[in-house]
A and B are shown apart, each in its own frame.
Chain A
Amino acid sequence: MNFEQFQNQSRLYVIGALDPEELEEFEQARKKLGKKGEDFISKCYALHEAFALSLRPAKSSDAIKERLMAMVKAKKQS
């Protein structure tokens, strides 16, 4: 797998779209590339943020936050 192919596969990898056979080959290439491969994969995770930010924010119930903070408080006290 050349680096351009690795880049393509990395973008598929971070969204979980590699099939099992491809994943195995990808992990081998990743191991060979070492830091260069890891650095590129890290950059690809920016896609996650971009996809989320492309959505229109949704309103959630105020009760959700109240329950969340109550749980956090309870956990801190335990």
Chain B
Amino acid sequence: MSHSRMGPRTIAPPLEPGAPSDFELMKGIQAGDADALSQLYDRYNGILKALILRVIHNEAEADDLLQEIFMEIWNQAKNFSEQKGKPLGWMVTLARRRAIDGLRKKQAYARAEERLQNETEQQPEAWVHNATEEQIVFGDRRVLIRKVISSLPPAQQQAIDLAFFKGMSQREIAAKTNTPLGTVKTRLELGLKKIYDGLKDLKDEL
């Protein structure tokens, strides 16, 4: 596999000099190179596991699902193309879909709903965490993303959290939070637009 120059600053752990880019790793996987999958796993297992945990709140199930998702990445890599965006975005979309499907299929939803009920009754689960160490390690883009998200009103953060990480529809969010449907829609629209606009500075890197 060819090595590339160090890529632009990334939110993932900075690439070591000469490390292959995500695109190069995906091409490797498409060509059947298991080492490429191994490198991609090392690079992103933490982020994808965090995403899965956000959905299903069970450590053991999250580990199993993580393995399934990377196996699916291996099997479905042929369906990825650069026209579809960045490899990480593709993997996140796949992981999120599998995690939400898993949540529903395993009938853990009722248990998750109960936990969610407890969470929503207390305080919205913290989405972003202040982590100075991570700022140093992961660079400015992650800081910017967290800054954008944490600048949203809590109600908008909560609505987006329920939609994206729990796969809830607007109606389900309205029922869960005891909020009018129109208000939920407005919160989602405003919150997503703010995040999207805030990310424009990173458009070349995301």
Q: Is the CB of B189 within 8 A of A45?
A: no
Q: Is the CB of B206 within 8 A of A50?
A: yes
Chain B: number of interface residues, binned into ranges: 35 or more
B112 within 8 A of A: no
Chain B 1-56 residues near chain A, CB threshold 8 A:
11-12, 32, 34, 37-38, 41-42, 45-51, 53-54
With A54-B146, A69-B34 already in contact, the answer to whether A59 and B49 are too (CB < 8 A) is yes
Q: Is the CB of A54 within 8 A of B49?
A: no
Measured in the bound complex, the distance between the Cα atoms of B103 and A47 in whole Å is 22
0/1 interface trace, chain A 10-50, chain B, CB 8 Å (1 if under) = 01100111110000000000000000000000111111111
B71 within 8 A of A: yes
Closest CB-CB distance, B193 to chain A, in whole Å?
A: 7
Closest CB-CB distance, A77 to chain B, in whole Å?
A: 11
- Max chain A Cβ within 10 angstroms of own Cβ: one of B84, B134, B189: B189
Residues of A within 8 A of B45 (CB): 60, 64-65
